[in-house]
């Protein structure tokens, strides 16, 4: 029991008989501890109290909230930073860094006891302590995610981390924004010990006792305050290699990673006080950028999605604990692997015993993929093997409470399989179909309980693609939608609810982008130029490259569906069937629009396929005067127009879902904030102006009613409104 205790709004200070003081944080009104103005004020007051004495033998800084040391700053407050007067952001950084610096300037040693997430400002708080003890709890993770908001750590992260683990590892950790587990943090020197939670406080005591007489803490404090002695050649090498890596990752579109590199390199050459000023100035510059504002918006709409149940009625989402997947193809295997990664036991059924057996090793390898090492963890794969049950008999689905059907895209086959699944499972089980083209209403015709049926459209590759479209059919009830949304989130996915319609939402918005690219090719524009313009805008690959990656045969069938539904705007291009008939299907055959070295996902572009170009010449259109900006407008504006039409039709529930969908499924550049946020940078009047010279291309370039209204009223595209989704 403590000898005395003082309670503040966000923390408590306990003094123990052995002289140890324990400062425990528990920030109210937040799911995890976050750094708020109240936390800052309370920490200052608590340190003032400790300074008044008696001096503690040591101070332990910990969290009283399970699973959370500190999750970083209160992100909701970051949006207002750019509205502050010049110099004020830098001053706030200086003040925060000085407050944390009191921990390592005190006459007594301090130890951060890290149990749970320790991110951003939370890690800066831990770094300001003399020692750090992390726990082996799986939730314990340390990192600086600020770069994902277009920022850098502003309260000492770029100053203290390089002095602790070296400038190279510090640049990698801060510029990547990735977290590390406690064991990895110990190996890199970020923490001084990694122990079970129950042993953390006692370990902190022993570390203090061990280092009390050795002078270790004083020596570390002096090293953390001084300039780093880095060989000039090593500094130049780090600058060159890191610049190349950062450029490769960002394409030059994100200012934060190069600013992080510059700040760390400049900060290591001077003492910590001067390095802090470098950090503050860099933080202020970044906080005022449009990129930071857009990334903050993306984060906030992602948080909204995390809290959204997917329905307006508030229907409860019953937990699904016994999932199953039917179909052991590429998509079915990926969905099964996603379940294993998320901790679910899963049943996989396929009538083809050979296909089933051949899929198991790939599923386990995928499920055990380690994003840090970039390879599969064989030990983990072995451990997961016991959670994967395979069968050729649908009777094994009897105990499943959620089944994802992922067989061939033929509607007659899907209908038959879905009817068989329904006969095997209980009346309370939810049945989902993974489809990108088949109408949910049509597939539901084979079911007696269509209210328990919905689409669950995963994207390929399942591990890397976070978006899932939860497709609501005409009969799907709220409870089914809510359960499917909740289940997708338990898989670590970002689900959006869409209404049943041809192409649902993502493919409906994607196809105008792809179709316009083929029209440009028909007009004589070089495919490589089209792709270059798209990548310069920020897309991860151009539309012609994307055609070849998807597979021209797959694109052909998807195009037929969308052309039948929206033929006046999304006509089927004659180029695609011509290439398919010639056997050019894209990467998987080694040729499509481009020629490839090898085939499959590892194929590399050699150049434009001249034979394909000659074969397509018969479909040529008269050339148009085409600048790079016009190419960009023709690729992207039809996407915007189709998204606006989908909003008006109630295909999506909210405009924020539009931006999440295009970012997570199509790779639309997050630094632009999403499709609607990008349109806001142009303004509705400018969008209409850019469409005028393209009007002769037909209905696909005509402004829909929502755009006309926005231009008339000077409204914003990204307001959080949408069409009404029918119940």
Residue 51 CB: number of other CB atoms within 10 A? 12
Task: Give dist(CA 491, CA 505) in Å, integer.
Answer: 21
For residues 350 and 328, the answer to whether their CB atoms sit within 8 Å is yes
Q: Say whether 457 is catalytic.
A: yes
Radius of gyration (C-alpha) of the chain in whole angstroms: 28
Q: Is the peptide bond before 461 cis (omega within 30 degrees of 0)?
A: yes
Sign of CA dihedral 190, 162, 116, 180: negative
Of 29, 114, 23, the residue nearest 60 (C-alpha): 23
Task: Give dist(CA 21, CA 111) in Å, integer.
Answer: 10
Of 533, 591, 586, the residue nearest 556 (C-alpha): 586
The catalytically annotated residue of 211, 339, 457, 487 is 457
Q: Which run of H or of E encompasses 308?
A: none
285 burial (CB, 10 Å; 0-12 / 13-18 / 19+) is middle
| DSSP code of residue 711 | H
According to DSSP H, which parts of 318-352 are helical? 330-341
Instruction: Name beta bridge partners: 134.
Output: 114, 194
Task: Give dist(CA 684, CA 676) in Å, integer.
Answer: 10
Q: Is the peptide bond before 658 cis (omega within 30 degrees of 0)?
A: no
Q: Is 343 left (phi over 0), alpha (psi -120 to 50) or beta?
A: left
Q: Which two tokens stand for residue 151?
A: 């920022």
CA-based diameter of the chain, in Å? 90
DSSP state string for 522-568: HTT--HHHHHHHHHHHT-SS-HHHHHHHH-HHHHHHHHHHHHHHHTT
Q: Which run of H or of E encompasses 113?
A: strand 110-114
Q: Which two tokens stand for residue 564?
A: 């039948």
CA distances from 55 to 2, 110, 111 (A): 16, 12, 15
CA contacts within 13 A on the Cβ side of 117: 16
Task: Give dist(CA 649, CA 630) in Å, integer.
Answer: 28
Task: Give dist(CA 675, CA 657) in Å, integer.
Answer: 10
Helix, strand, coil percentages in the chain from 3-state DSSP, rounded to 5: 55, 15, 35
First-last CA distance in the chain:
57
Q: Are strands 110-114 and 604-608 parallel, antiparallel or unpaired?
A: unpaired
Task: Give dist(CA 352, CA 326) in Å, integer.
Answer: 11
Q: Is 349 left (phi over 0), alpha (psi -120 to 50) or beta?
A: beta
Task: Give dist(CA 181, CA 141) in Å, integer.
Answer: 5
For residues 558 and 503, the answer to whether their CB atoms sit within 8 Å is yes
Of 247, 261, 251, 409, the residue nearest 327 (C-alpha): 409
Q: What residues are annotated to the active site?
A: 457
């Amino acid at each position: 029991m403590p000898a005395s205790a003082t309670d503040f709004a966000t923390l408590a200070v306990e003094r123990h008989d052995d002289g140890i003081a324990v400062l425990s944080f528990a920030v109210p009104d937040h799911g995890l501890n976050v750094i708020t103005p109240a936390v800052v004020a309370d920490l200052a007051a608590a340190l003032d109290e400790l300074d008044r004495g008696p001096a503690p033998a040591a101070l332990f800084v910990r969290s009283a909230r399970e699973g959370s040391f500190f999750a970083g700053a209160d992100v909701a407050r970051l949006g207002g930073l750019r509205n502050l007067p010049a110099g004020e952001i830098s001053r706030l950084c200086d003040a925060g860094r000085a407050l944390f610096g009191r921990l390592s300037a005190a006459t007594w040693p301090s130890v951060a006891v890290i149990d749970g997430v320790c991110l951003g400002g939370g890690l800066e708080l831990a770094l300001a302590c003399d020692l750090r003890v992390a726990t082996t709890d799986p939730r314990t993770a340390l990192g600086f995610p600020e770069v994902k908001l277009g920022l850098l750590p502003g309260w000492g992260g770029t100053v203290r981390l390089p002095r602790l683990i070296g400038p190279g590892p510090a640049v990698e950790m801060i510029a990547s924004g990735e977290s590390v587990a406690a064991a990895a943090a110990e190996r890199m020197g970020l923490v001084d010990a990694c122990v079970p939670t129950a042993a953390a406080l006692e370990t902190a005591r022993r570390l203090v006792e061990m280092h009390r007489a050795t002078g270790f803490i004083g020596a570390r404090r002096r090293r953390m305050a001084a300039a780093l002695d880095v060989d000039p050649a090593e500094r130049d090498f780090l600058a060159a290699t890191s610049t190349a890596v950062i450029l490769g990752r960002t394409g030059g579109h994100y200012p934060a990673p190069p600013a992080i590199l510059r700040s760390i390199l400049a900060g290591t050459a001077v003492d910590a006080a001067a390095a802090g000023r470098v950090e503050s100035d860099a933080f202020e510059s970044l906080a005022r950028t449009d990129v930071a504002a857009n990334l903050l918006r993306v984060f906030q709409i992602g948080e909204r999605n995390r809290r959204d149940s997917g329905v307006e009625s508030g229907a409860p989402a019953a937990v699904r604990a016994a999932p199953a997947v039917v179909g052991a193809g590429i998509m079915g295997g990926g969905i099964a692997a996603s379940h294993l990664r998320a901790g679910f036991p899963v049943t996989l059924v396929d009538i083809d015993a050979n296909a089933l057996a051949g899929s198991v090793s790939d599923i386990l390898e995928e499920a055990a993929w380690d994003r840090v090492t970039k390879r599969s963890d064989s030990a983990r794969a072995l451990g997961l093997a016991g959670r994967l049950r395979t069968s050729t008999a649908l009777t094994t689905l009897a105990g499943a409470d959620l089944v994802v059907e992922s067989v061939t895209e033929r509607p007659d086959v899907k209908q038959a399989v879905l009817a068989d699944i329904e006969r095997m499972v209980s009346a309370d089980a939810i049945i989902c179909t993974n489809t990108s083209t088949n109408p949910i209403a049509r597939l539901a015709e084979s079911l007696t309980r269509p209210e328990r049926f919905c689409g669950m459209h995963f994207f390929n590759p399942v591990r890397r693609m976070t978006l899932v479209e939860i497709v609501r059919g005409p009969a799907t009830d709220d409870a089914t939608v809510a359960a499917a949304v909740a289940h997708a989130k338990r898989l670590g996915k970002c689900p959006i609810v869409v209404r049943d319609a041809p192409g649902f939402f993502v493919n409906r918005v994607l196809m105008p982008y792809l179709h316009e690219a083929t029209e440009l090719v028909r007009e004589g524009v070089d495919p490589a130029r089209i792709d270059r313009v798209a990548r310069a805008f920020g897309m991860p690959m151009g539309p012609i490259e994307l055609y070849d990656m998807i597979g021209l045969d797959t694109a052909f069938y998807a195009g037929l569906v969308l052309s039948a539904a929206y033929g006046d705007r999304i006509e089927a291009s004659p180029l695609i069937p011509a290439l398919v008939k010639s056997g050019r299907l894209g990467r998987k055959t080694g040729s499509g629009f481009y020629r490839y070295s090898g085939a499959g996902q590892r194929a590399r572009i050699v150049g434009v396929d001249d034979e394909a170009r000659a074969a397509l010449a018969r479909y040529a259109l008269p050339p148009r005067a085409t600048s790079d900006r016009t190419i960009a407008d023709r690729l992207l504006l039809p996407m915007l127009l189709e998204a606006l039409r989908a909003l008006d039709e109630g295909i999506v529930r909210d405009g924020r879902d539009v931006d999440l969908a295009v970012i997570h499924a199509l790779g639309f550049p997050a630094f632009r904030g999403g499709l609607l946020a990008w349109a806001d940078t142009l303004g509705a009047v400018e969008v209409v102006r850019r469409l005028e010279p393209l009007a002769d291309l037909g209905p696909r370039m005509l402004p829909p009613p929502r755009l006309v209204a926005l231009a008339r009223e000077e409204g914003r595209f990204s307001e959080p409104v949408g069409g009404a989704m029918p119940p």
